[in-house]
Structure 1
Amino acid sequence: MNTRSASHAAQRQLWLAVGFMVASAAMFAAMAVMIRLASAELHAFEIAFFRNFFGLVFAVPLLLRHGTGILKTDKLHLYLGRCLIGILSMLCGFWAIVHLPLAKAVTISYSTPLFVTILAVLFLGEVVRLRRWTAVALGFIGVLVIMRPGADGFDANTFVALAAAVLSAVVAISIKVLSRTEKADAIVLWTTLLWVPMSLVPALFVWAWPSGWTWAWVAAAGFFGTAGHMFWTRALKRGDASMLTPISFMQVPFAAALAWWLFGEGVTAWTALGAGIIFVANAYIAHREAQVASRTVTDAEISPETQKR
């Protein structure tokens, strides 16, 4: 493969990663809407269980396509740790979606990139340059503009949402570690299989059988959650966690628009401004990473020493 072809291949993988992350953001925004709809009848913990149960149902075709051999792994301990942290993050996140305005709950979750960037540098050895640090900081400012902390005060539910964001950052790093040796579909299957029994335990303490349309909402939450997870793992397989996580900020305007349309939750000028800042940050991150990927391939062809940055 010549230098130009290698450069194009690297950029193609990068843009695929970006596209998968955008699709993931749309799926998770739709899942948040389903959670809110189901919360009229069910507790957040029970919704989390049904999201995972139906998510497993929708993941069965993956198992049929690949066969049980895809579940063979020597990383079960990593899956268990990742899933325990993930279920805690999910329970906190679902609680926030139910008890906070939808756009606010989602935007608070996007303090995650700050933690992901730090963890990616410390534990994955990813190189994060000044411009990307600046873009991440800009995206975080956009989240703060939407949140306007202090304007209405932080309550206990806000801290629960923040806890979900911190735990989500740990999950993102664990996914990246697993994706080095594990297939994306294997990660989805193992995660879904483990999440069902893990989420059942807290759900039993608040159990109430759903009825009518609530069954549709929890089933749809499972579908959108599984689809979002599949897109997310494929994105992280192709790109740096610290680069891709800020792109998932697009879930914010998606969720805000759906909340306005379905629940009459207003989209304020602050929300629009914050979303605009986030979009600018995301666009720059994707553009910058495309340049870096192209230059890295070119430098590697010229001299191995240029990779030691």
Structure 2
Amino acid sequence: MNMPDQDQVRKPLLGIIFITLAFLGYAIMSGFVKACSLAALPSQEIMFFQVLVALLVLSPWFIKYAGQELVPKNKWLTAGRAIFGLLSFYLFFVAVKLVPLVNAVLLQNTTPFFIPLLGLILLRKKIALRVWATIAVGFIGVILVLNPGQGFLRMGNIIALAAGLCSAVTTIIVGRLENKGESAQTILLYFLAITILITGLWSIPVWKTPHGIFWIYLAGAGVLFAAFQILFMLALKFASAITIAPFIYLVVIFSGVVDWMVWHQIPHLMTVVGAVIVIASAILSTFPRARSSTS
């Protein structure tokens, strides 16, 4: 039997390292956002600064691809991806102010459950029995998270779940754009540009000038958001989606640590049980799609 090439062994490990670093940064970024939200900075203003800083950080990468490649081939789909991406992040930013960070992050990452349901409704794609089962079990976990002894319809949890739905729509649109030959840098550039324009105008009536340490938090959120984009793409370069899928949910653990260290919040037992069910079901629901996409 031939020994595997060292690069073949190293590449999946690099992908796992990059995805772990990406979501560690995402959890810290979410902590910065929560700190700014608790200081009464409007969510749209936080988004404006975060995305503006991210665009500045990523500008050398965009300049490298300047020219015809950055002109979208599908303008309406590209704009739709930007709008739903904006909505997902805005709802998430609102949610982190109302509920523990771990709740908001977990419920935002219910995307794998919504994607097959939206595929059935919008694209008439059939759902395999196994996927139906994982979705059903996953939503049982969601119900447990929604009701950690503090009220089933706690608004922050519902808002975070809506963020997950918007994220699923975004994922479907990105898939359509990639199938039509749209480049990753074009999709990301127009998301950032449209978000800056909309949140900038949206912030004017409610503007509250940040002060002191919050400038650092906003800058940090922007830098980490840019780093997340780069690290996520690197992870997919070195490892398949099916390899990195289980590690995406490390963000829930990282967010729980941030919650505990900064705000001394310990997740309710029902939240922990629900999180385990959601994460396991989400990973299982991802596997069939990942296999079909690589076959």
**Common fold, TM-score beyond 0.5?**
yes
Deviations 1:27-51 (A, max 9, x none): 3322211101222252222111111
Q: Number of aligned pairs? A: 287
1: distance between equivalents of 2:172 and 2:119?
7
The corresponding residue for 1:138 is: 137
Letter paired with 1:42: L
- 1:218 CA drift (Å): 0.7
The corresponding residue for 2:184 is: 184
Relative to 1, partners in 2 of residues 1:225 and 1:155: Cα closer, same or farther, differing over 3 Å? same
Deviations 1:45-92 (A, max 9, x none): 211111111111111121133233431222122111221222222222
| TM-score using structure 1 length | 0.76
2: distance between equivalents of 1:164 and 1:175?
16
The answer to which of 52-61 and 281-290 deviates more is: 281-290
Gaps of 5+ in 1: 297-309
Give matches, 1:161-200, under 5 Å: 161-180=160-179, 181-200=181-200
2:112 is equivalent to residue 113 of structure 1 = yes
Give matches, 1:118-267, under 5 Å: 118-123=117-122, 128-148=127-147, 151-180=150-179, 181-231=181-231, 248-267=248-267
The corresponding residue for 1:27 is: 25
The corresponding residue for 2:34 is: 36
Letter paired with 2:208: A
2: distance between equivalents of 1:187 and 1:227?
16
Q: Secondary structure at the match of 2:206?
A: coil
Letter paired with 1:209: T
Deviations 1:184-206 (A, max 9, x none): 22222221122111111221121
The corresponding residue for 1:281 is: 281
Gaps of 5+ in 2: none
2: distance between equivalents of 1:101 and 1:273?
15
2: distance between equivalents of 1:261 and 1:239?
33
> Alignment RMSD, CA only?
3.8
The answer to which of 130-139 and 281-290 deviates more is: 281-290
2: distance between equivalents of 1:69 and 1:232?
25
Give matches, 1:46-57, under 5 Å: 46-57=45-56
| TM-score using structure 2 length | 0.79
Identity rate, percent: 27
Q: Secondary structure at the match of 1:179?
A: helix
Relative to 1, partners in 2 of residues 1:63 and 1:88: Cα closer, same or farther, differing over 3 Å? same
Relative to 1, partners in 2 of residues 1:228 and 1:97: Cα closer, same or farther, differing over 3 Å? same
Q: Secondary structure at the match of 2:54?
A: helix
- 1:99 CA drift (Å): 2.2
User: Are the equivalent residues in 2 in contact too, given 1:126–1:240 (CA < 8 A)?
Assistant: no
The corresponding residue for 2:58 is: 59
